[in-house]
Amino acid sequence: MPNKRSLSALDALTAAQTVEYYFDRAAEVIDLPDADRIILKRPIRELSVELPIKLDNGQWRVYHGYRVQHDNTRGPCKGGLRFHPSVSEDEVRALASLMTWKTALVDLPFGGAKGGIACEPQRLSDDEKQRLTRAFVRAIDDIIGPQRDIPAPDMNTNAQTMAWIMDEYSSRHGYSPAVVTGKPIGLMGVEGREDATGRGVQILVEAACPHFDLDIKNATVVIQGFGNVGSNAARLLHQCGAKIIAVGDATGAIENEDGLNIPTLLEHYKTHRSLKKFAGAGELDSRELLKIPCDILIPAALGGVIDADIAEVLQAKMVVEAANSPVTAGGDKVLRGRKIPILPDILVNAGGVIVSYFEWTQNLTAFRWKVDAVHHELRETLIHAYDEVLRASDEHKTDLRTAAYAVAIDRVATAKRMRWLS
């Protein structure tokens, strides 16, 4: 029984095993037949590729890349592309299955996939990144496409990376903007995609606050990660009146118990690419960031940062998983024991894929979405999914993560049975 495992055993689960553990927990709750469990846990395809790149100094180096397609029952596979030294087959497999449950939970006509290249993007020039991205697209060309698998940005990739993907794929298949989302606005990208994940975080925090006796206007917030997701969540929560009292990233952490001036911090970050030496805050040991007393703790950087030990000591009233898998299975168990609610990743960071869906429809129909419509539909979609999660949580008397997985797994399993019986 998964719930009987010790905390250290739970913390030792790999990323993919952790998602399976959550899957099993939800499968029990909805009494999912064994056949569905066997089929839905495993990815449908895993591709591992070698990418030889000539560096700017004339030397050659071979990078490893992965594309895992977890499920395509409800539509083409969909999922981001990550550049990071810690990228591994196991991590990409976990992230691909999270995408299946995320797209199903918010009821998009997509399955789940993920890609990654193990590299140190900060050490690569733009030209080297471009060569690496194009080599990856050539290597996975057979398995992607507007009706097969549609990549998007993730850690250390951005609209520029997506433009290279679109160009490389189009050079073989003809003009194909719908092969990738998160593109620049001038290249059939959709307005509102850039900050969609952070906006989704803000929408859900705002919706959840009243359920957990918090008032967003006075809530104190700590955010780990000041990249695309973390910085946009900070900006939008600050606009709602929340007090962002500390933020951290790979360069360090800063705090101000009266609340950071986020617009000024964003200007500082744009100039210095670092949180350090910001006049309106004191510096903080990064390891202490997650333990600061606050109402809302938002991990928006790496996976696995809240393990059982951190979960025992953190002093937040609610944990909002803006990153993918920031809480280990051990951390999840401790937080449930402490009755600290966790808003789960497959709900919280779904804003990006929701607006990616709008971009995909824009590309298929060649009709441009207006930004007000993007914001409106994003909110509607997320709030509907959140209500479904709350209902499932009440019905099954279970935590929000298990409820979210239950809704998603039931949706995919039902669709799979319809396709197989027809």
Q: Which residues are catalytic?
A: 114
Q: What is the DSSP letter of 369?
A: P
**Nearest distance in Å: CB 277, ligand NAD:** 16
**Nearest distance in Å: CB 35, ligand NAD:** 31
Identify the three-state secondary structure at position 241.
coil
Task: List phi, psi (to 5°) of 33.
Answer: -55, 150
CB-facing half-sphere around the CA of 266: CA atoms within 13 A:
13
Chain residues in the site for ligand NAD (CB under 6 A): 153-156, 197, 224-230, 248-250, 300-302, 322-324, 349, 352
**Nearest distance in Å: CB 117, ligand NAD:** 13
Query: Which residues have CB under 8 Å from 94's CB, separation 6+?
Result: 14, 15, 16, 18, 19, 303, 325
Using DSSP bridges, classify how beta strands 220-224 and 294-299 pair: parallel, antiparallel or unpaired: parallel
- Nearer Cβ to ligand NAD, position 153 or 330? 153
């039931």: which residue's tokens? 410
Cβ-contact 282, 253 below 8 angstroms: no
- Nearer Cβ to ligand NAD, position 29 or 326? 326
- Nearer Cβ to ligand NAD, position 2 or 252? 252
Identify the three-state secondary structure at position 106.
coil
C-alpha–C-alpha distance, residues 305 and 222, integer Å: 14
Query: Token pair of 152, please?
Result: 């998007």
- Nearer Cβ to ligand NAD, position 5 or 276? 276
C-alpha–C-alpha distance, residues 270 and 263, integer Å: 11
Cβ neighbour number for residue 286 with a 10 Å cutoff: 15
Residue 210: exposure state from Cβ atoms within 10 A (0-12, 13-18, ≥19): exposed
Query: Which residues have CB under 8 Å from 61's CB, separation 6+?
Result: 52, 53, 55
Cβ-contact 226, 249 below 8 angstroms: yes
Query: Which residues have CB under 8 Å from 159's CB, separation 6+?
Result: 153, 182, 183, 184, 189, 194
- Nearer Cβ to ligand NAD, position 43 or 182? 182
Q: Which residue is nearest to ligand NAD (CB)?
A: 227
**Nearest distance in Å: CB 294, ligand NAD:** 16
C-alpha–C-alpha distance, residues 71 and 102, integer Å: 12
C-alpha–C-alpha distance, residues 32 and 396, integer Å: 14
**Nearest distance in Å: CB 192, ligand NAD:** 12
Q: Left, alpha or beta for 43 (phi > 0: left; psi -120 to 50: alpha)?
A: beta
- Nearer Cβ to ligand NAD, position 29 or 178? 178
- Nearer Cβ to ligand NAD, position 224 or 402? 224
DSSP, residue by residue, 284-330 = E-GGGGGGS-EEEEEE-S-SS-B-HHHHHH--EEEEE--SSS-B-HH
- Nearer Cβ to ligand NAD, position 150 or 413? 150
**Nearest distance in Å: CB 311, ligand NAD:** 17
Q: Which of 251, 204, 193, 195 is nearest to 346 (CA)?
A: 204
